[in-house]
Amino acid sequence: DTPYFQFSKGAVDSLLLICNRVWEKDAIVPLTDDIRQRIIRTNDDMAKRGLRVLGIAFKPMDDLPQNIDADDIETDLIFTGMVGMIDPPRVEVKDAVATANQAGIRAVMITGDHPLTAQTIAKQLNITQDDAILTGAQLATMPLEELQQQVERVSVYARVSPEHKLNIVHALQNNGHIVAMTGDGVNDAPALKRADIGVAMGITGTAVTKEASEMVILDDNFATIVQAAEEGRTIYDNVRKFVKYILASNTGEVIVLFLVQMLGMPLPLNTIQILWMNLVTDGLPALALGIEKGEPNAMKRPPHDPKEGMFARGLGGYLVRIGMLIAFVTMLVVLFVPAPEGEATNTVWGTMIFTTLVMSQMGHALAIRSERDSIFKIGFFSNRAMLAAIGFTVVLQLILIYTPFAQDFFGTTALSAGELFITIGLSILTFLGVELDKWFFN
């Protein structure tokens, strides 16, 4: 007969704290300890099945309260029942977690759900296989030093608040981890801001979380984050290949110029030819390396140290080895054509040195497409842009050699078929040398 009713919903264990009666068999009876324990057991059973459980309570009211404040009016409620909702993870998330684990990326679940629900879902996704879990109540009283120890073994956190998320991020960072944090609510903004990489949800995320984040996932899918990590590794690898190709080729050119001076030979390259190699011969294949597909093992290796230098992981040694290889192959030209007494401009020897350097760099570009796998494994035609860049560069080089205007401008001369065959054969040695280098050092 009362004109007003107040309804409340929330986590069952929290809701029971503000209830003193229960609706049972069409009657309102006192909420005894036995009934309370029976409700909690039912809640736990539902949570173990991976259900998100919501408790519902109400109470009749004679008048509307003047001040609608939860602390004032949510008292002496009548517990009505529970609703279990299935919110299964997307099918692709389990594979994404497995891929992340292979890549040395550890997935951690932080949720406001019941601990048993969180644990069940985490085990389904292989985020954890043990029972290690921390709740918001435990985190609230845990000092940061202890939390730093716990975060190394615990991958599931339940019933947490935004403040707890911030503490978890802080603890992981203090342990030297690079932390990416996802979030969608306004209260997640501090943790997203504190994380090394804040990831906001594009569909459910608020404007505040998007502003605080470095990345926005448009489809709200965890698998997309893993795909982004793979794409990032591909870009990093391609930049590294770009640097290896450019610097190793330039190192070879410098060594050639140094050797001919030491041996008392004339300089085989003029300024225009050097500019040509730096702008065209180096440039076109290097651009094609930028769109190379990802390495097959890109997500099967641990992350690199973000503090490592540019020449880390053998890059410096590679530049020396391949630079010397290109120089050695180029200097083999003297076995077939002696160096002239005077200037090398418009001579067969100078043109062969120039062409051998260009062709060797093409062989280098073809072999450097993968830092680990042979070109015969990844396939010659898997990057058609590279083939187009090499083909176009070779055609331009032939124009430089065989057209009168280009000969006058670049200081080249026409090569016989045999001489051209020698330069191509020598460049193949560079290609094979880079392939052997990958095989030996990897």
Q: State percent of the chain over pLDDT 70.
A: 100
Give dist(CA 207, CA 186) in Å, integer: 8
The alpha-helical segments, DSSP class H, found in 125-221 are 136-140, 144-150, 162-174, 189-194, 207-212
CA angle 206–208–209, rounded 5-degree value:
70
On average, the pLDDT of the chain sits at: 92
* pLDDT tens profile 103-160: 999 999 999 889 999 999 999 999 998 889 999 999 999 999 999 999 999 999 999 9
* pLDDT tens profile 292-321: 998 888 899 999 888 887 778 888 999 999
Classify domain 230-441 by CATH architecture.
Answer: Up-down Bundle (1.20)
- φ/ψ of 255, rounded to 5, equals -65, -40
Does residue 345 register a pLDDT over 80?
Answer: no
* pLDDT tens profile 402-428: 999 999 999 999 999 999 999 999 999
Q: Where are the domains of the chain?
A: 4-85, 91-225, 230-441
91-225 to CATH, choices 3.40.50.720, 3.30.300.30, 3.20.20.150, 3.40.50.1000: 3.40.50.1000
**Fold exhibited by the domain 4-85:** Calcium-transporting ATPase, cytoplasmic domain N (3.40.1110)
- pLDDT band of 1, cuts 50, 70, 90: low
161 near 132, Cβ under 8 Å? Answer: no
The alpha-helical segments, DSSP class H, found in 61-183 are 70-73, 91-102, 115-124, 136-140, 144-150, 162-174
Q: Is 287 helix (H, G, I), strand (E, B) or coil?
A: helix
Please tell me the predicted confidence (pLDDT) of residue 409: 93
Please tell me the predicted confidence (pLDDT) of residue 110: 94
391 near 398, Cβ under 8 Å? Answer: no
* pLDDT tens profile 15-31: 999 999 999 888 999 99
Please tell me the predicted confidence (pLDDT) of residue 7: 93
Query: What average pLDDT does the segment 371-375 reach?
Result: 89
Give dist(CA 228, CA 81) in Å, integer: 43
